[in-house]
Chain A
Amino acid sequence: MQIVVLTKPVPDPAAAAERLTSDGRLDRAASPAVINGNDEYVLEAALKLVEAHGGEVTLLSMAPPNAVETMRKGLAMGAHKGVLVTDPALVGSDQGSTIQVLSAALGELEYDLVLAGFDTSDGVGGVVGAAIATRLKLPYLSSAAKIEPDPDAGTVRVRRISPTGFDILEAPMPALIVGTQLLGEPRYPSLKGIMAARSKEIVTRTLADLGLDAGAVGGAAARTKVTGQEKPPARGATQVIRGTPEEGAKAIVELLAARRLI
């Protein structure tokens, strides 16, 4: 099986250093990047699938050149190769550009499955997967808790989280699947994996390589704009109670009563 996993380098949520430049773009120099958390779940699922069925996992990212660093971690987890679409003209891309560019990059790759994470921790959108599936006319299966391909039949089943339980979806491959945390805990790269990742190939593609016009995507063609930014309103001071459990309970009850929550 050939599986492409869409991965986005995002500012490390744990570093908490994100800020925007005055023109509303992420100041990437200010904040270290990591693989988006939800992408790691689908990468883990992809690795398990090729372990069971054979084949290769390819990482696909659209990001600045230094994204090779974050892609290395995915390769260290066990992905076989990486494709990084990077181009100065892509600075300031909106979701529409991301959708066009990733669709074009997928057009050059062979795959049975394309996997994407539920959303990204930076903007929490979760719309890119559905849009790419639509552009490429791929069957679209989302909110996956389990992915079970049947390579002989050429079909895939997905256990989709529904508001009341699960729906079992089935579609022919190739298909695009958006997965969730329920796919299972991502593995840590082993020392062997980290060593092996150094010699794995990361192919870099520019807009010209993909046959895309630099004026039609990226910042020049953005159809959304950031018009303002501010820090969220600060919460009030924290009251800290140290004492007996009864004193603690009393403080809680008093606060709940004062705020008419009981």
Chain B
Amino acid sequence: MAASKGAIWVIAETNADGSLAKSSTEVATLARTLAEAAKTEAAGIVVAADPKTAAAELADYVPRVVAIAEKAADGNAWSQVAAQRAAAILTDETPAAVLSGAGPDGRDVAGTLAALLERPVLVNATAVAWADGGPSVEMSVFGGKLVTTSAFADGEWGIVTVRPNVVTAEKAKAAGKVEPGKADGELALPVVKIVERIEEAASALPIEEARIIVSGGRGVGGEEGFKLVQEIADELGGAVGATRAAVDSGWIPYAQQIGQTGKIVKPQLYLALGISGAIQHKVGMQTAGTIIGVNRDPDAPIAEFADLVVVGDLFEVGKALLEALRAR
């Protein structure tokens, strides 16, 4: 069955400047790995008003890229426009599988494609292998308490959304080819206009991409307290994260929230200051390489899953830590 199947396709996302999104470099790397195992080809689709830059970048990862220049992708909500153009190609190609990111745009594209093509979908993959002629998809469910493996039913192909930071992006040995794709035909779904774009003073590095994260919780006490968190993060070359309590209090933007209703991160080091480690926060950071907590309460839940817990006042320990780091 596998031999007659089509390619493993990636629906790419682009950044505001037209470059390829980091999550798409990861998903494209995964598609290439799976294609090798499935003895088929990996291919990608870029839909943008000007797809040139992202398509060229995507060709560093997969041998075949279809670049669709779609005017409606500019000035309108992207995902449904992109999904409709991608659906037209995938209808012709009969893929072996389709992959997208599991972030806000990737999941929107996946949901739309699933409905347009009437295909099953597996979500938020933490790993994907190729087995028995289809993707074998590992997922972390119930806040990380269980790891399940799922597959599409026999003879089905479907769409898989892939969580950021679970694959290390790696370019192919040789660059692939970019071909233009069609952007004709009516867009049947309602087009949603973007009437205004508001740029915020963005933090230097998206928190999902940080190698080191220093996070503060309710115990940090306020914006003033987060200055110490920031200083430690600067000293370690990391980014600042926070719990929902700190975000709800207005001490730090939502973009930096880690946990169930915020971001899910997997840094090499997670330093938690004044964070109890309640399940709602734990689900966002429990797969970090090294977890260190500083907390007054030795019985806080973080003591159950951290590598090291320092019992004490976060300001006193934090200041001592800054001095110790600077003295090195």
When distances are taken between beta carbons in the complex, the residues of chain B under 8 Å from A16 are 143, 145, 279
In chain B, what residue has the closest Cβ to A228? B149
User: Chain B's interface: helix, strand, loop or mixed, by majority?
Assistant: mixed
Q: Which 9 A-B pairs have the closest CB atoms?
A: A130-B111, A125-B123, A127-B111, A134-B115, A248-B310, A249-B320, A223-B120, A165-B200, A228-B149
Complex: how many Å from CA A133 to CA B325? Answer: 52
Segment touching B, from A81-89, A106-114, A234-242: A234-242
Apart from A16-B143, A133-B80, A248-B312, 14 more pairs, CB < 8 Å: A13-B142, A130-B79, A134-B112, A140-B80, A140-B112, A162-B16, A167-B194, A181-B262, A223-B120, A223-B153, A224-B152, A238-B307, A245-B313, A252-B292
Which residues in window 208-262 of A have CB below 8 A to B? Answer: 222-232, 235-236, 238-246, 248-253, 255-256, 259, 261-262
Within the complex, the shortest CB–CB distance from A121 to chain B, in Å, comes to 6
Which residues from chain B sit less than 8 Å from chain A, CB to CB? 15-16, 77, 79-80, 83, 102, 104, 107-112, 114-116, 118-124, 136, 139-153, 156, 158, 161, 188-190, 192-200, 202, 206, 212, 236, 244, 248, 254-255, 257, 260-262, 264, 268-269, 271, 279-280, 283, 286, 289-292, 294, 298, 303-313, 316-317, 319-321, 323-325, 328
Q: Contacts A131-B115, A163-B15 given; indicate if A140 touches B108 (C-beta within 8 A).
A: yes
On whether the beta carbons of A38 and B261 are closer than 8 Å, the reply is yes
Which of A18, A180, A224 has most chain B Cβ within 10 Å? A224
Within the complex, the shortest CB–CB distance from A26 to chain B, in Å, comes to 9
In chain A, what residue has the closest Cβ to B280? A13
On whether the beta carbons of B115 and A138 are closer than 8 Å, the reply is no
Chain A interface size, under 10 / 10 to 19 / 20 to 34 / 35 or more: 35 or more
On whether the beta carbons of A127 and B110 are closer than 8 Å, the reply is yes
Q: Contacts A130-B112, A228-B148, A238-B304 given; indicate if A142 touches B309 (C-beta within 8 A).
A: no
In chain A, what residue has the closest Cβ to B148? A229
Choose among A118, A134, A227 the residue that contacts B80 (Cβ–Cβ < 8 A): A134
When distances are taken between beta carbons in the complex, the residues of chain B under 8 Å from A20 are 146, 148
Complex: how many Å from CA A178 to CA B290? Answer: 34
On whether the beta carbons of B310 and A241 are closer than 8 Å, the reply is yes
Choose among B114, B144, B264 the residue that contacts A99 (Cβ–Cβ < 8 A): B114
On whether the beta carbons of A130 and B107 are closer than 8 Å, the reply is yes
Indicate whether A143 reaches chain B with its CB closer than 8 angstroms.
yes
On whether the beta carbons of B198 and A240 are closer than 8 Å, the reply is no
On whether the beta carbons of B254 and A252 are closer than 8 Å, the reply is no
Within the complex, the shortest CB–CB distance from A40 to chain B, in Å, comes to 10
On whether the beta carbons of B311 and A261 are closer than 8 Å, the reply is no
On whether the beta carbons of B195 and A157 are closer than 8 Å, the reply is yes
Complex: how many Å from CA A41 to CA B257? Answer: 16
Q: Contacts A164-B200, A225-B151 given; indicate if A248 touches B317 (C-beta within 8 A).
A: yes
Chain A to chain B contacts (Cβ below 8 Å), 21 pairs = A13-B143, A13-B283, A131-B111, A134-B80, A140-B80, A163-B15, A163-B206, A165-B197, A171-B193, A224-B158, A226-B149, A226-B150, A231-B146, A242-B298, A244-B320, A245-B320, A248-B310, A252-B271, A253-B324, A255-B308, A256-B236
When distances are taken between beta carbons in the complex, the residues of chain A under 8 Å from B145 are 16, 18, 231-232
Within the complex, the shortest CB–CB distance from B143 to chain A, in Å, comes to 5
Indicate whether A43 reaches chain B with its CB closer than 8 angstroms.
no
On whether the beta carbons of B108 and A130 are closer than 8 Å, the reply is yes
Within the complex, the shortest CB–CB distance from A184 to chain B, in Å, comes to 9
In chain A, what residue has the closest Cβ to B107? A126
On whether the beta carbons of A165 and B198 are closer than 8 Å, the reply is yes
On whether the beta carbons of B194 and A169 are closer than 8 Å, the reply is yes
Indicate whether A205 reaches chain B with its CB closer than 8 angstroms.
no
When distances are taken between beta carbons in the complex, the residues of chain A under 8 Å from B102 are 124, 126
In chain A, what residue has the closest Cβ to B262? A181
On whether the beta carbons of A18 and B142 are closer than 8 Å, the reply is yes
In chain A, what residue has the closest Cβ to B136? A227
On whether the beta carbons of A261 and B317 are closer than 8 Å, the reply is no
In chain A, what residue has the closest Cβ to B190? A139
Which residues in window 142-200 of A have CB below 8 A to B? Answer: 142-143, 145, 157, 159-172, 180-182, 185
Indicate whether A56 reaches chain B with its CB closer than 8 angstroms.
no
On whether the beta carbons of A181 and B254 are closer than 8 Å, the reply is yes
